[in-house]
Structure 1
Amino acid sequence: MDPSLYRTLKTSRGYTYSYFVSTSKSTAKPTLLFLHGFPSTSYDWHYQAQYFASRGHGVIIPDMLGYGGSDKPTDPLSYRSSLVTRDLIEILDKEGIKKVVGIGHDLGCLFLSRLASYFPERISAYAFFAGAYIPVYPDLSAQALNTYLKARHGYDIYGYWFFFNREDAGTLIEKNFQTFFSIMYPHEPSIWRTHMGPMNAFYTSVLNGETFKKDKPDWMSEEHKNHIWESLRVEEGGEIEAPLSWYKLATSREFGQDDSSIPQTNLFPPSTSSIFFGAAKQDCICVSTDGVESFETDAWKDHKVTIREYEGDHWLILSCHEEVDKDLEEWIGSLL
């Protein structure tokens, strides 16, 4: 992505964000706000940035708080969705953008979901990839969620949350970063089921420096791999503790309590909103059937929901980017 198209903003709470901007070439083309997840940067959307900017869309892609060129606080409370969503709105305000189509992947889906709760007037439509819309559950604990999903699927889903919550997680990851990388970006999607979801599996693998048949998936370029290493490895000038802070928040009581003040009327996007869900059929953590079935409940009966399923793993916006880009373009075109 062109470094000259990055800008910075110091938000009202004092954190500086770095973000990619390509301005709209036509008032008929909506601006698209892309939100990445863990352990990524705005670079995860580089295919989409090129594709949609070349077609005249405005494109805004922040390095989310804790990642890339943005500030990297290690206080978990800094990552509360009520605060991060305000930061994102301040970026839109600086760019003079009143309304955007919001597009999220992984934890980006969480913050897109909360934009629907806190600032629904700023989002005209919502697209979710891998992760679906995340409802507000003020009293739901990470342990209870993991227990529920294990009963549903027959295996642990969120065991890695508890590893990332350990005080020594950052040190262990830095010590055996290749192991961490090979699990987060697996050459075989099933590695997530055996090494990421089960309790203590990720911790044991990183602790022992486990090696894998391939060091990265076939779809990933060396340039992309080097970008991730430089953004996360301390010895490369990166920072892993800040991204891990989200998981420390997610396993604390403050995670649900932060959203407890959201009114019942804002628990879902407005019924006039169009929704796109891109399901990754080989994702062992964000299980595609969970997302598809969630959008088939009564909560969405008045929304216009478009669902597409992809033969890819969690990183479908990269591994299936040509198909994803075309489907997104068609969906966005239907909004006009």
Structure 2
Amino acid sequence: MAFQGFPNYALRITLDDSGLVYTTVHVPPRPAGGSSNSTKPSILFLHGFPSSSYDWHNQIRHFSALGYGVIAPDLLGYGGSSSPPSSSLEPYTFKSMCSDVMAIVKHCGVDVSSGARLHVVGHDFGAILMAPLLGYYPGVALTASFLSTPYMAPGQRQDIELVKPLSEQMLGYEFLGYQRFLMRDDSGRVLDEHRDSFFSLAYASEALTESDFLPPGRLEAWVRADRRAPLPSWATEEYVETRRRIFAEPASYQGPTNWYRSRFRDYLGMDEEKEEIGEGKIKIDCPVLYVSRKEDNALLKMVGMGMSGVAETVVCKELSGSGHWVQLEVSDEVNQALEEFLGEFDEGAETKTSL
């Protein structure tokens, strides 16, 4: 949550159209060089599941110190942002959330209607949200960086029944089996009842992820037994306590699991999304960076190969020694990769603001 991790840079924004409330970290850009009218562009960071803006803390500190503006919202259902219930999933459609994100960007002073552009970085579900965002708002992004999770075309349904036989053949288990539990109406309640157990598994080693998170039934069995995995070496006491405060509300995981119910169970808004911005037809109109892991399994490597065709300029960077949470586990390497890539395209920014 923005107010837990970065209280001095946290905003609480009420959207005019919907009345939804979002909390976000906002660090304004600093002048680059001698001209007070010349600033570095802003970077929009989109987190995934089960995360919050705080999981970008290493990037927020690094890039704000370099003079970049930072916009890192707690996405819908997370942290201090609004969390519509499971009985009202329409706000979780990607078209609606993309509109919310752009309203946040405008509130933070990046006036895209006047030609301002910004870098966009996404991880996990945040990376999946990026494709519709870039489709609905072409010309907004200077660059698009996908961390750990490759591009998924707008309107493309993820059918776990179709993926099941392929993943079992390639990996020996059902790679998306965990989603069967997360899509259930009671999953948020179960996770809330065993928060520390779930956190320890969600950020656990790759071996535990493959044995006790991904296959069907394993995640639910783990948390109901209240099992605990060793915390990773990067998880400082400060990080663990901050995260515990962020997810301290009675229904902290109901909103995050609503993303699975809306997108992967009910396919809400996906036909409209497909019709409006074209399944498989969107080519990203800015340079793309894909950060993957040398340790990725065969299925992820196969899916990642499709990144080469999503834009005219695609840079693929493989990092070693990391699991899914690259921005936390190998933050220095991720920051370096992003800094080098973003720096190549900063000059295309128009830094008009509406402060």
Shift of 1:270: 3.7
Whether 1:254 and 2:273 are equivalent positions in the alignment is: no
Q: How does 1:120-131 map to 2 (within 5 A)?
A: 120-131=138-149
Equivalent position of 1:20 in the other structure: 25
**Per-residue CA shift, 1:9-54, capped at 9, x if unaligned?**
2122121111111111133512110000111111111111111111
Q: Secondary structure at the match of 1:39?
A: coil
Q: In 2 relative to 1, CA 291–308 (structure 1 residues): closer, same or farther, beyond 3 Å? A: farther
Asked whether the 8 Å contact 2:136–2:277 carries over to 1, the reply is no
Asked whether the 8 Å contact 1:36–1:107 carries over to 2, the reply is yes
**Per-residue CA shift, 1:88-130, capped at 9, x if unaligned?**
1111222231221100011110111111111122112100101
Equivalent position of 1:73 in the other structure: 84
Q: In 2 relative to 1, CA 92–152 (structure 1 residues): closer, same or farther, beyond 3 Å? A: same
- Looking at structure 2, the residues matched to 102 and 68 of structure 1 have their Cα atoms a distance apart, in angstroms, of 21
Q: In 2 relative to 1, CA 151–303 (structure 1 residues): closer, same or farther, beyond 3 Å? A: farther
Q: In 2 relative to 1, CA 283–251 (structure 1 residues): closer, same or farther, beyond 3 Å? A: farther
Identity rate, percent? 25
Q: How does 1:55-74 map to 2 (within 5 A)?
A: 55-74=66-85
**Per-residue CA shift, 1:33-79, capped at 9, x if unaligned?**
00001111111111111111111111111011111121111233321
Shift of 1:201: 1.1
* Ranges in structure 2 where 5+ consecutive residues have no aligned partner: 32-37, 348-355
Whether 1:219 and 2:230 are equivalent positions in the alignment is: no
- Aligned AA (2:314): V
Q: How does 1:35-54 map to 2 (within 5 A)?
A: 35-54=46-65
The size of the alignment, in residue pairs, is 326
- Looking at structure 1, the residues matched to 176 and 224 of structure 2 have their Cα atoms a distance apart, in angstroms, of 18
- Looking at structure 2, the residues matched to 9 and 77 of structure 1 have their Cα atoms a distance apart, in angstroms, of 20
Q: In 2 relative to 1, CA 167–95 (structure 1 residues): closer, same or farther, beyond 3 Å? A: closer
Whether 1:206 and 2:223 are equivalent positions in the alignment is: yes
Asked whether the 8 Å contact 2:156–2:280 carries over to 1, the reply is no
Q: In 2 relative to 1, CA 175–320 (structure 1 residues): closer, same or farther, beyond 3 Å? A: same
Whether 1:307 and 2:316 are equivalent positions in the alignment is: yes
Shift of 1:159: 1.1
Q: In 2 relative to 1, CA 2–229 (structure 1 residues): closer, same or farther, beyond 3 Å? A: closer
Shift of 1:142: 3.3
Equivalent position to 1:29, from 35, 40, 45: 40
- Aligned AA (2:315): T
Equivalent position of 2:127 in the other structure: 109
Q: Secondary structure at the match of 1:261?
A: helix
Give the root-mean-square deviation of aligned CA atoms.
2.2
Q: Secondary structure at the match of 2:185?
A: coil
Q: How does 1:1-336 map to 2 (within 5 A)?
A: 1-11=5-15, 12-26=17-31, 27-74=38-85, 75-97=88-110, 98=112, 99-186=117-204, 188-212=205-229, 214=230, 216-234=231-249, 239-249=252-262, 250-254=264-268, 256-264=270-278, 267-271=281-285, 273-282=286-295, 288-296=300-308, 299-300=309-310, 303-311=312-320, 312-335=322-345, 336=347
Q: Secondary structure at the match of 2:98?
A: helix
Q: Point out which structure has higher relative CO (alpha carbons under 8 A, 6+ apart).
A: 2
**Per-residue CA shift, 1:180-217, capped at 9, x if unaligned?**
1121010x2111111111111111122222343x1x11
Shift of 1:327: 1.2
- Aligned AA (1:18): T
Asked whether the 8 Å contact 1:116–1:266 carries over to 2, the reply is no
Q: In 2 relative to 1, CA 288–96 (structure 1 residues): closer, same or farther, beyond 3 Å? A: same
Shift of 1:280: 2.7
- Looking at structure 1, the residues matched to 166 and 276 of structure 2 have their Cα atoms a distance apart, in angstroms, of 24
Q: In 2 relative to 1, CA 164–217 (structure 1 residues): closer, same or farther, beyond 3 Å? A: same
